Amino acid sequence: MKYLGNWSSHPGAFWICEFLEGLKPGKLPALKRSCAVVLCLSLLAGCSINKMATKAVADALTGTGSSTVFTSDPDPRLVGDALPFAIKIYEALLDMQPDHEGLIVTTGSLFVMYANAFVQGPAELLPSEKLAERQEGINRAKKLYLRGVDILSGGLEKKYPGILEARQNGTMDKYLKKIKKADVPHIYWLVAGTLSAYAINPMDVSLGIKLPELTALINRAYELDENFNEGALDDFFVLFHASVPPSMGGDKSKVDAHFRKALEKSKGLSAGPYVSYAQAVCIPAQDYKTFKEYLEVAVALDPEANPGNRLVNIISQRKARYLLERAPYYFIDTGEDNGWDEWETE
């Protein structure tokens, strides 16, 4: 069992130790684990060891191995239904342990993941006749992104006081030197969440003015751990450099190199880089041949070949199929007989 400190000898603490033993990653399914936490929190509410016990629970839920509880699941609907409950559990723990780095990153990242995969993603797949519902979903996604960003930015400010104002003060370089490899997940989710919210409404000046500091942070993260999460940063940079103008840090000349690195680091087992490149590079360039080739590769990947990334691949493949079906909307000429000419003349 994970070391819990001297409090485990406190009268009445034995049952908590037994509970935490069952919380080791992999011992309980996510739903059972969450239910156990609810029970534990309710019992601890008036306990003198509240803070110490909740910290132990927080450590157990954010420790090594816990990150794949959702990402390895093969059922997107199950995870989508469970995540709101899980998020509220983590929020409750964070309220009691506001300085717990693991809880800050996990809670903030769950908001970003949920907004992207289960709110914005499905909303964007809705047909044109459901435009109002689509827009409602996208607006909700932005709010969820920003809730995650608030948690993550607040946590980063606690760890490095003054970092959020560093760019305006001209002291960003000093803070970048302080950032460590262990901070990379924190920075990744902070930047990804902020830019995802900004992409929904590029006219949001309050987010746009943060681009320079976000660029500096994500570049520093890449310097510290370019292999983070099997090429997740390279996949991020494919979208970033293909979409962000040079005046704000984008550089299209770097896209192909990051794409190749993303494939290499994921051993070709991730559908994400193929979908990112097809959407961010091929559509603007009107390169239907590469668009189709990469998306078909993404669809053909076996999610079981990379169990820890199973859910992410399934969701990416869903997006790939949607893009392939909608190709005539994105390309002037696909070079294929898709029946659209007849439809237009009716």
Closest CA to 68 of 326, 310, 314, 339: 310
pLDDT score recorded for residue 128: 87
- The sign one gets for the Cα dihedral 87, 89, 90, 96 is positive
Closest CA to 232 of 147, 118, 151, 112: 112
Q: How far apart are CA 37 and CA 31, in angstroms?
A: 10
Q: How far apart are CA 314 and CA 171, in angstroms?
A: 42
DSSP 8-state secondary structure symbol assigned to residue 47? -
pLDDT score recorded for residue 334: 83
pLDDT in tens, 18-71: 333 333 444 444 444 555 554 455 544 555 456 655 566 556 566 655 557 788
- For residue 148, the Cα-to-chain-centroid distance in whole angstroms is 10
Question: How many C-alpha atoms does 150 have within 13 Å on its Cβ side?
Answer: 7
Q: How far apart are CA 327 and CA 321, in angstroms?
A: 10
pTM metric for this prediction:
0.80
pLDDT in tens, 250-299: 999 999 999 999 999 999 999 999 999 999 999 999 999 999 999 999 99
Q: Which amino acid is at 106?
A: T
Q: Which residue has the tokens 């987010």?
A: 207
